[in-house]
């Protein structure tokens, strides 16, 4: 309809929309003085984002994923080693799928 | 937070290197996902130019995977742009939390670094801020590393995708989940986090089931963080 570069044009718009979300939060926070509540709230966001992201991600990956997710969490908490936690999760799911 | 820290915020090459080094393990996973994305893009009819341009210019995994699924003839232009906006709306909250670093460096460096901000580089950066890190270039180093691996993977996947064996059997598909779970564990600060996290997870699970798209991340995060803030401030 818009020629062979329609896809490229749509991707250009998608990129602009994405950059607006990346830059927008910092732009806004500079233009309003954060209240005590806002500061506490922002501090709570990272954990909440990953809890919201992980819950369906783990639950939807089936029983093997539930066990591997729990093992990843346990190793991350106990050892504090990021790489070891990830390796444990991937190894666990690979083994569980073989069973 | 670290606002009370009087050490000045820097933007150095050492910071870029530190961010890059910290990101290498997950960037390897990003390469694998990039290959998968490139393969899927080819399957759904995107040209090499379109596939590569999307990874370089949109550079947001979840929205790219969904866009490629929606891709067709005629192109659903409105749906594509709206979907990308909705999925990436979480960046607005994320960018705001980087204020303790970004407001102390020149705007062009701040807005330049933000171009490369992803879930992964943001998560590692927020963790570094919380640990007293005062070099804002960490965000850029982390983002650039992911950018390099993601785009390399994309092009490899688009060109060589057809010859790939089934990697999922070896658990590589779980790498992303394992990464986010490990990252979540790092944000645990004590039992006060339990209720906000349960609220976030519960709202996300319900929304993921009943609300189309990926609003569930934003919905769960807002609900959980607001509950946490209300409990904390009162």
Domain spans of chain B?
A: 2-187, 189-234
ipTM comes to 0.77
Residues of chain A with confidence (pLDDT) below 50: 1
Give the pLDDT band of residue B133 (cuts 50, 70, 90). very high
Instruction: State whether A6 and B75 contact (CB < 8 Å).
Output: yes
Q: Chain A contacts of B175, Cβ < 8 Å?
A: 86, 89-90
Check pLDDT > 50 for residue B212.
Answer: yes
- DSSP strand E in B77-170: where? none
Check pLDDT > 50 for residue B1.
Answer: no
Instruction: State whether A85 and B67 contact (CB < 8 Å).
Output: no
**Which residues have CB under 8 Å from B6's CB, separation 6+?**
none
DSSP secondary structure of B76-97 = -HHHHHHHHHHHHTHHHHHHHT
- Tally of CA atoms within 13 A in the half-sphere of A4 that contains its CB: 2
User: Percent of chain B at pLDDT above 70?
Assistant: 92
Cα B232 from Cα B234, distance rounded (Å):
6
In chain A, the N- to C-terminal Cα span, in Å, equals 51
Instruction: State whether B174 and A90 contact (CB < 8 Å).
Output: yes
* Of residues B34, B22, B17, the one with CA closest to residue B176: B34
Of B58, B180, B228, the CB nearest to A48: B228
Q: Chain A contacts of B218, Cβ < 8 Å?
A: 52
Q: Chain B contacts of A83, Cβ < 8 Å?
A: 25
Q: For residue B74, report the phi and psi dihedrals to the nearest 5 degrees.
A: -75, 155
Distance from the B224 Cα atom to the nearest Cα atom in chain A, whole angstroms: 5
Q: pLDDT tens, B41-82?
A: 888 889 999 999 999 999 998 788 878 877 888 888 887 887
Give the pLDDT band of residue B164 (cuts 50, 70, 90). low
Bond preceding residue B140 cis, omega within 30 of 0: no
**Residue of chain A with shortest Cα separation from B84:** A14
Instruction: State whether B171 and A97 contact (CB < 8 Å).
Output: yes
Instruction: State whether B182 and A72 contact (CB < 8 Å).
Output: yes
The whole-number average pLDDT for the span B188-217 is 89
**DSSP label at residue B149:** H
Partnered with residue B135 across adjacent β-strands are B10
Determine the pLDDT at residue B177.
83
Average pLDDT of chain B, as a whole number: 87
Instruction: State whether A76 and B185 contact (CB < 8 Å).
Output: yes
The whole-number average pLDDT for the span B16-42 is 90
Best mutation target, B116, B184, B216, to test chain A (most A CBs within 10 A):
B184
Does B172 lie at the interface with A, CB-CB under 8 angstroms?
A: yes
Determine the pLDDT at residue A22.
96
């Amino acid at each position: 309809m818009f020629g062979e570069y329609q896809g490229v044009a749509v991707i250009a718009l998608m990129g602009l929309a994405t950059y607006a979300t990346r830059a927008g939060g910092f732009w806004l926070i500079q233009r309003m003085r954060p209240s005590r509540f806002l500061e506490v709230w922002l501090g709570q966001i990272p954990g909440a984002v990953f809890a919201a992201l992980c819950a369906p991600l783990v639950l939807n990956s089936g029983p093997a994923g539930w066990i591997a997710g729990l093992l990843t969490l346990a190793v991350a908490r106990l050892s504090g080693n990021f790489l070891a936690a990830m390796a444990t999760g991937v190894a666990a799911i690979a083994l569980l799928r073989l069973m | 937070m670290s606002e009370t820290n009087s050490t000045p915020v820097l933007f150095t090459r050492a910071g870029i290197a530190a961010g890059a080094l910290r990101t290498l393990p997950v960037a390897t996973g990003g390469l694998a996902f990039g290959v998968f994305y490139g393969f899927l893009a080819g399957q759904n009819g995107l040209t090499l130019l379109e596939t590569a341009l999307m990874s370089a210019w949109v550079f947001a995994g979840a929205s790219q995977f969904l866009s490629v699924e929606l891709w067709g003839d005629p192109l659903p232009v409105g749906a594509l742009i709206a979907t990308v906006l909705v999925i990436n709306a979480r960046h607005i909250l994320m960018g705001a939390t980087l204020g303790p670093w970004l407001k102390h460096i020149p705007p062009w460096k701040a807005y330049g670094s933000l171009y490369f901000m992803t879930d992964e580089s943001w998560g590692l950066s927020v963790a570094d801020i919380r640990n007293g890190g005062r070099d804002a270039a960490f965000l850029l180093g982390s983002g650039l590393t992911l950018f390099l691996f993601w785009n390399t993977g994309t092009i490899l996947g688009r060109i060589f995708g057809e010859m790939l064996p089934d990697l999922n059997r070896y658990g590589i598909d779980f790498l992303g989940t394992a990464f986010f779970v490990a990252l979540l564990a790092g944000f645990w600060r004590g039992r006060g986090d339990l209720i906000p996290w349960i609220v976030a997870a519960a709202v996300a699970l319900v929304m993921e089931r009943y609300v189309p798209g990926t609003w569930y991340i934003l919905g769960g995060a807002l609900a959980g963080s607001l509950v946490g803030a209300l409990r904390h401030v009162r």
